[in-house]
Amino acid sequence: MTDSDEALIEQIKNGDLNAFEQLIARYETRVYTIAYRYVGNHSDASDLAQEALIRVYRSIGAFRGDSAFLTWLYRVVTNVCKDELRRRARQNTISMDEMLERGQAPAVQTAEKPPEEAVLRKEWQEEVQVILNSLSEEHRTVVVMRDIQGYSYEEIAGFLECSLGTVKSRLNRARNLLKERLLSRKDLLLGRACQTS
């Protein structure tokens, strides 16, 4: 018999680390995937996902159960990733070599390569992620929040501390950029089967 999230949370509050391990095992893949969509590489995604889960463990005493644990967990992950992307946007010191090393090369460069070769080199999802990574942190954040995590405009405005109009225009711009870059990769846009793990 598996314990509910609420029961595990109560155990965690009492200092039961095993309960936390059980709870995390249910959601860590989702947490990791969200982090990966935000930052676009496995190394950073691993660090951010772990950071978010550690923050969940350490602040679980503040969780009062007003919302579902998954909703609260997503908010924590989103805040961690959003802060990281904001920090990167402020620094804006990532060199082109570092971008290439992290697989963040602009989509235009990827698109110039032969599609077959590129597809053979990487999985379909990774190719889409590369195009996603070509967006700025600002645009990527709003796209991931809306189209990956499914947040509403109001929730996104709350996360980003901006107006609904800003969310609307920013999301429109980000989607159009993605559309233009995906159109150069018809194979991706037509939709291969999602290779989920």
With respect to other proteins, which residue has the nearer C-beta, 61 or 96?
61
**Contact map string, positions 97 to 136, toward other proteins, x by CB under 8 A:** ----------------------------x--xx--x----
Look up tokens 């691993």; give the residue.
46
DSSP characters over 116-172: HHHHHHS-HHHHHHHHHHTS-HHHHHHHIIIIIS---HHHHHHHHT--HHHHHHHHH
Query: How far apart are alpha carbons 72 and 89 in whole angstroms?
Result: 25
* Position 70 contacts other proteins (CB under 8 A): no
Look up tokens 């990527």; give the residue.
140
With respect to other proteins, which residue has the nearer C-beta, 15 or 93?
15
Query: What is the number of other CB atoms lying within 10 angstroms of the CB of residue 196?
Result: 7
Residue 146 main-chain phi, psi, to 5 deg: -85, -50
* C-alpha neighbours within 13 Å on the C-beta side of residue 131: 26
* Position 48 contacts other proteins (CB under 8 A): no
| Of the candidate residues 23, 60, 77, 81, the single one contacting other proteins (CB under 8 A) | 60
With respect to other proteins, which residue has the nearer C-beta, 1 or 193?
193
Interface ranges with other proteins (CB under 8 A):
12-13, 15, 17, 20-21, 24-25, 28-30, 32-33, 36-37, 42, 45-46, 49-50, 53-54, 57-62, 125, 128-129, 132, 143, 146-148, 150, 153, 168-169, 171-172, 175-176, 178-179, 182-183, 188-191, 194-197
